[in-house]
């Protein structure tokens, strides 16, 4: 799995003008799934994200996790994270998992984030044409790949 995470002041995702998930301060996760990914990798990634210390303490140091600040996590499926642009002018997405495999892993990841103790978890609609709005905080943007 590959995740692009952004520390946000707020974020929301909508499908056909209807908000399907939103959070205030927390983390926006753009999640891509590869063909060989497993639920165990989703659990590892969920724990890593929930415990990642990317929020500032009183001294301005990144010492707090989303759990520490009582923040939320918004998860959006993003198969394009496995897009390959090395050849030609149009990306190839053969590195992304087929939806039959990717959707259960995406849904499981959302459940695993919740199981980590995150108070507010929002999710997009897998395979939907989503509009994502966010107010980046910092900005802080990181890329995480599962082992």
| Mean of pLDDT values over 134-143 | 97
First to last CA, the chain: 9
- The pTM of the full predicted model, rounded to 2 decimals, is 0.94
The percentage of residues in the chain with a pLDDT greater than 70, rounded to a whole number, is: 100
Q: What is the residue extent of each domain of the chain?
A: 2-145
Dihedrals phi, psi of 90, to nearest 5 degrees: -115, 130
Pairing of β 72-77 and β 26-32:
parallel
> Mind telling me the catalytic residues?
78-80
To the nearest 10 degrees (0 to 180), the angle between helices 99-115 and 39-51 is 40
Q: Identify the CA nearest to 102 among candidates 74, 124, 134.
A: 124
Q: Which class would CATH give 2-145?
A: alpha beta
pLDDT tens readout for residues 104-128: 999 999 999 999 999 999 999 999 9
Tell me, what's the pLDDT at 140?
A: 97
The percentage of residues in the chain with a pLDDT greater than 90, rounded to a whole number, is: 97
Mean of per-residue pLDDT scores for the chain: 96
Tell me, what's the pLDDT at 147?
A: 86
pLDDT tens readout for residues 8-64: 999 999 999 999 999 999 999 999 999 999 999 999 999 999 999 999 999 999 999
Ramachandran sector of residue 60 (left: φ over 0; alpha: ψ -120 to 50; beta: rest): left
* Cβ atoms of residues 135 and 8 within 8 Å: yes
pLDDT tens readout for residues 54-98: 999 999 999 999 999 999 999 999 999 999 999 999 999 999 999
């Amino acid at each position: 799995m590959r995740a692009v995470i952004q520390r946000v002041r707020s974020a929301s995702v909508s499908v056909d003008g209807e908000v399907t998930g939103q959070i205030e301060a927390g983390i926006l996760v753009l999640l891509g799934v590869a063909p060989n990914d497993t639920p165990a990798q989703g659990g590892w990634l969920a724990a890593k994200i929930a415990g990642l210390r990317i929020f500032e303490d009183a001294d301005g140091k990144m010492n707090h996790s989303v759990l520490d600040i009582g923040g939320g996590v918004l998860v959006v499926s993003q198969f394009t994270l496995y897009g390959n642009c090395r050849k030609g002018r149009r990306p190839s997405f053969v590195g992304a998992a087929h939806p039959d495999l990717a959707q259960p892993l995406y849904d499981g990841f959302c459940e695993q984030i919740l199981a980590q103790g995150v108070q507010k978890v929002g999710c997009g609609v897998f395979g939907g044409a989503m509009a994502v709005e966010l107010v980046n905080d910092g900005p802080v943007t990181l890329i995480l790949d599962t082992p």
